[in-house]
Chains A and B, each alone.
Chain A
Amino acid sequence: DTAVSQTPKYLVTQMGNDKSIKCEQNLGHDTMYWYKQDSKKFLKIMFSYNNKELIINETVPNRFSPKSPDKAHLNLHINSLELGDSAVYFCASSQDRGYHGYTFGSGTRLTVV
């Protein structure tokens, strides 16, 4: 019954690898997001999709590529992983562009070694 679910919860991988994180929401929301949280808990928006259309694309390396096959899914693919990509990545969703708040997934802790 999880509203926003992301997989995997933990991901440990070597530098240079390519990995994907998946996110699905069953709330019927029209907008989905990816956030990166660093070790100091600072949250940074990366991408946002509204009805499968990219609406926010912050300054992130182009090694990061979001894909939204439908409005219930937003996946994040990362190429050529670097040590600095280690963080917790959160998926979120909202209705009406977020004026009533976001619903967050439980996070994916990515560790690049």
Chain B
Amino acid sequence: GDSVTQMEGPVTLSEEAFLTINCTYTATGYPSLFWYVQYPGEGLQLLLKATKADDKGSNKGFEATYRKETTSFHLEKGSVQVSDSAVYFCALIDFNKFYFGSGTKLNVKP
């Protein structure tokens, strides 16, 4: 069946460091891929998405590229800020069903 696997956290970085959060997936169809962010005490917010292979989603300095050959959708940001501290979820939708990864907590220290 379909699934999403993302790196375990927490990930702790200093401000202005480069961020990568790995995400790989398995899917039987042609999924759309998403990254969601959850700030403390809040619901999940859509951060970016990609609907087909080689698409790049981007928002607020975050980027992720849909790589069908490696079944990956890694999240990157060139320079993180303290305000980026949150839990990040990779997700896919396939045949009308959504699958979330287990979440990766990011702590950014000043």
Q: Please give, as numbers and ranges, the residues of chain B lying within 8 Å of A107 by CB-CB distance.
A: 42-43
Q: Please give, as numbers and ranges, the residues of chain A lying within 8 Å of B105 by CB-CB distance.
A: 41
Whether A104 and B44, one on each chain, are in contact in the complex, defined by CB atoms closer than 8 angstroms, is: yes
Chain A residues with a Cβ closer than 8 Å to the other chain, count? 22
- A100 and B93 CA atoms in complex are apart in Å by 9
Asked whether any CB of chain A lies closer than 8 Å to the CB of B32, the reply is yes
Whether B103 and A42, one on each chain, are in contact in the complex, defined by CB atoms closer than 8 angstroms, is: yes
Q: Please give, as numbers and ranges, the residues of chain A lying within 8 Å of B38 by CB-CB distance.
A: 41
Whether A102 and B42, one on each chain, are in contact in the complex, defined by CB atoms closer than 8 angstroms, is: no
23 A–B contacts from the bound complex (CB under 8 Å): A4-B43, A41-B38, A41-B102, A42-B102, A43-B44, A43-B89, A43-B100, A43-B103, A45-B97, A55-B96, A56-B97, A90-B43, A92-B44, A98-B93, A98-B96, A100-B49, A101-B34, A102-B44, A104-B36, A104-B43, A106-B42, A107-B42, A107-B43
A binding-site residues for B, Cβ under 8 Å: 4, 33, 40-43, 45, 55-56, 90, 92, 97-107
